[in-house]
Amino acid sequence: MPSVAQSHPPSGPSAPLDNPISSTNASSPTPFHVAIIGGGITGINLALGLEHRGVLYTIYERSPGFREIGAGIGFSPNAEEAMKLLNPEVYHAYKRTANPNGEDKFQWINGLNDELLYSLPVGKDGFLGCRRSEILEEWGKLVPPEKIKFNKTVETVLEPGDEGYNPDEDAKGKILLKFTDGTVDTADIVIGCDGIRSKLRNHVQSHLYPSSSSGPGRAVAKAGYTHKFCYRALVPMSRAVEAVGQYRCSTRFMYNGPGAHIITYPIGNNSVLNMLAVISDPNEWPDEKRHVLPGNKEDIRQAFKGWHPTAEKLAELFPEQNEGGDGPIVKWGIFDTYDFPLPQYYAGRVAVAGDAAHATGPHLGAGGGLGIEDALVLAELLGKVPELQGSNLQAREVDTEMILERVLYVYNDFRYARTQKVVAWTRDAVDLFQWKDERVAKDGKKFGKLVKKKFHHVWFDLDLQEMMNWNMPKGMLEMAVLEVALAPTVKGAREFLGIGSGSDGSDEDAEW
Ligand SMILES: Cc1cc2nc3c(=O)[nH]c(=O)nc-3n(C[C@H](O)[C@H](O)[C@H](O)COP(=O)(O)OP(=O)(O)OC[C@H]3O[C@@H](n4cnc5c(N)ncnc54)[C@H](O)[C@@H]3O)c2cc1C
């Protein structure tokens, strides 16, 4: 099993001279407050991770309640592992809502001839599907009501030093959250879990590049159209079975072919077949501000026309009307951050997580799972802060604000490479599923080798258990804080030796 290879401890002194983080002369920890912006999968999971570790937090969610569409979602083995470590209650809630697999396999069918291309074992009860609205409701019940503020849309976040930063006397040094209803709250650290069109992503970007965030030569981080759109449907199981038979409705299948694919799996205790049709699109998305637009069932009919009757019947199962029955079925543009990524996931004491940080297409079923992994890493790091506060660091002028900033530095260090890779692998995967290279796509052996590699990267490339056993986050955090704690000593020594005080990665640094 690979180790935590995607990350590395931040550079810093390897051994302290007089152990500045020992707990001798320890002062008691100062409570700090985490603001979580957005109560989707990432935000709720972060909240439940902090709850489990006794860290103070509030979720600010713009909707009147925890809201998700009824469509299905599948959680991959890495996401399950993260749930267990985050908070066992998170995992149990997921298991309560998840649909059993007919067979513990993910199977790919050549959509043109209906033959099996490849079958990937998913592990015992692995990659189960569930209804989004149900799982979110179950998780939502675990968050104490006083820790959620609904109908709160964050408009701006202001950190000390920002223009317009004007806290009350007792809130000096805190981060200000300004809401669209005119109210203001404060926090010591802010995690933006506000989804694919994140406001907090803009905040991070503008604080990384204050003068040039939208200037020439610097692309503004955002989610761009992937030239794929999709249609979703929840089909009563009896209708689905009538169309394609019991077996094909009992577990996870994907039907592949040129320029399109359909994925199906059962949810709602086998009462419903969840369906997702993904279609390639040479055009631009007409409205970047709206990722969901009125569609037309004809798109689906055309995309699967001439395929094997099984695929054509599946296409026909999609409804003509939207859920409310008062308009056409809607189509969802698939956007990701591949072309316009953030260069890092934090600035100061504000970070982004989940889709806000690294939106990815749905093709590896990974986006939600990545958000849960982010939540685990953040919760683990924030859970270690009281230990560092209780050490003698404060005597060295390393205050809570600095520790919190270093938490985000380590979070970014842990998460950036892996999450960016998953965004890229997801693009590769959809090319494979939609036969960009027909010779590979139609050859079960070649196809299977590539598919297995991609999914296994997502499922196993991050050994979360090992990370926890090694006490990795605490170790990395201590290293990062040490860098700050020792900075004055290093500076003094440099001055004494007359070798300058910069730490710009020059030869001078190497010599030191
Ligand atoms: C078709 C499709 C299928 C998918 N299938 C899978 C799958 O099978 N498995 C998987 O793991 N992933 C899947 N994904 C990806 C997954 O859905 C996302 O990665 C996940 O939902 C992101 O969760 P999030 O909490 O980061 O963001 P969101 O779910 O978007 O939540 C953001 C929350 O923030 C709130 N918010 C936004 N702005 C503000 C503001 N200014 N102030 C306050 N609140 C705010 C919103 O109301 C929302 O509740 C799929 C995606 C798609 C499109």
**From 131, 132, 232, 349, active-site residue:** 232
Number of the ligand 1 atom closest to the C-alpha atom of 200: 41
pLDDT at residue number 18: 41
Res. 81: pLDDT tops 60: yes
The β-bridge relationship of strands 272-280 and 260-267 is antiparallel
pLDDT in the model for residue 322: 85
**What's the CA-to-centroid distance between 18 and ligand 1, angstroms?**
46
Name the 3-class secondary structure at 13: coil
**Can you tell me the mean pLDDT for 364-383?**
95
Say what the pLDDT of residue 39 is. 97
| pLDDT score, position 324 | 79
- With a 6 A CB cut-off, is 194 part of the ligand 1 pocket? yes
232 is catalytic: yes
In Å, how far are 114, 253, 455 from 439, measured between CA atoms? 17, 21, 21
Beta carbons of 108 and 116 less than 8 angstroms apart: yes
Cα of 392 from ligand 1 centre, angstroms: 41
Backbone angles phi, psi at 7, to 5 degrees: -125, 170
Does the beta carbon of 129 lie inside 6 Å of ligand 1? no
Return d(Cα 112, Cα 3) in angstroms, integer.
40
Is residue 473 over pLDDT 80? no
Ligand 1 atom with least separation from CA of 354: 26
Instruction: Reply yes or no on whether the pLDDT at 506 is more than 70.
Output: no
Kindly state if the Cβ of 295 falls inside 6 Å of ligand 1.
no
Tell me the pTM.
Answer: 0.89
Cα gap 94→48, rounded to integer Å: 13
User: Which residue type is seen at 36?
Assistant: I
pLDDT for res 493: 67
Strand partners, 335: 225
At residue 31 the predicted structure's pLDDT band, cuts being 50, 70 and 90, is: confident
CA distance linking residue 348 with residue 350, whole number of Å: 6
474 or 198: which leads in pLDDT? 198
The whole-number pLDDT of residue 325 equals 77
Cβ of residue 140 lying under 6 Å from some atom of ligand 1? no
In the chain the domains, ranked by start, together with CATH numbers, are 33-470 (3.50.50.60)
Q: Is the pLDDT of residue 244 over 50?
A: yes
What is the Å distance from ligand 1's center to 491 Cα? Answer: 45
Angle at 72 between CA 69 and CA 74, to 5 degrees: 130
Q: Is 373 a pocket residue for ligand 1 (Cβ < 6 Å)? A: no
Q: What whole-number distance in Å separates Cα of residue 322 and Cα of residue 99?
A: 25
Q: What's the average model confidence in pLDDT over 92-112? A: 96
For ligand 1, say whether the CB of 383 is within 6 Å of any of its atoms.
no
pLDDT band at 326 (very low <50, low <70, confident <90, very high): confident
Q: Which pLDDT value is given to residue 507?
A: 32
* Distance between CA atoms of residues 105 and 37, nearest Å: 36
- Would you say 229 and 219 are in contact if contact means Cβ atoms under 8 Å apart? no
Distance 68 CA to ligand 1 centre (A): 8
Which of the listed residues 37, 45, 73 should we mutate to test ligand 1's pocket, taking the one with most ligand atoms within 8 A of CB?
A: 73
Among residues 330, 333, 331, 303, which one has the least CA distance to residue 316?
Answer: 303
Summarize the confidence of residues 500-508 as an average pLDDT.
40
Residue 290 CA to residue 312 CA, distance in Å, equals 29
Query: 156 CA distance to ligand 1 centroid (A)?
Result: 20
The torsion defined by the Cα of 421, 201, 136 and 458, in degrees rounded to 10, comes to 0
Radius of gyration over alpha carbons of the chain, in Å? Answer: 24
Which pLDDT belongs to residue 74?
Answer: 95
Lowest mean pLDDT among 201-215, 262-276, 296-310, 371-385: 201-215
- At 464 the pLDDT is 74
Which residue's alpha carbon is at the smallest distance from atom 39 of ligand 1?
194
* Ligand 1 neighbourhood includes 367 CB (under 6 angstroms): yes
197 lines ligand 1 (CB under 6 A): no
Expressed in angstroms and rounded, the spacing between residue 365 Cα and the centre of ligand 1 is 12
Which pLDDT does position 339 carry in this prediction? Answer: 95
| C-beta of 369 in contact with ligand 1 (< 6 A) | yes
What contacts 480, CB < 8 A, 6 or more positions away? 10, 12, 406, 409, 410
Given this model, what pLDDT does residue 225 score? 97
What pLDDT score does 484 carry?
67
Pocket test for ligand 1, best of 106, 194, 334, 350 (most atoms within 8 A of CB): 194
pLDDT by residue (tens digit) across 410-458?
899 889 999 999 999 999 999 999 999 989 999 999 999 999 999 999 9
From 512, 483, 507, 475, select the one nearest 496 (Cα to Cα). 512
Q: How confident is the model at residue 80 (pLDDT cuts 50, 70, 90)?
A: very high
Mean of pLDDT over the chain? 87
> Has residue 400 got a pLDDT over 70?
yes
pLDDT of the residue at 505:
33
pLDDT digits (tens, 9 = 90+) for 154-194: 999 999 999 999 988 888 899 999 999 999 999 999 999 99
pLDDT at 330 over 60: yes
pLDDT value at position 259? 97
Q: What is d(CA 23, CA 442) in angstroms, rounded to the nearest whole number? A: 62
353: confidence class by pLDDT, cuts 50, 70, 90: very high
Predicted confidence at residue 210, as pLDDT, reads 75
Torsion of CA 317, 320, 325, 331, to 10 degrees: 100
Residue with tokens 């209708």: 239
Say whether pLDDT at 465 is over 90: no
| Range of weakest confidence among 19-28, 43-52, 91-100, 377-386 | 19-28
Cα dihedral 309, 101, 457, 311 in deg (nearest 10): 10
Beta strands in 38-197 (DSSP E): 56-60, 72-75, 105-110, 115-121, 128-131, 148-149, 154-158, 175-179, 184-187, 189-192
Q: How far is the CA of 359 from the centre of ligand 1 (A)?
A: 9
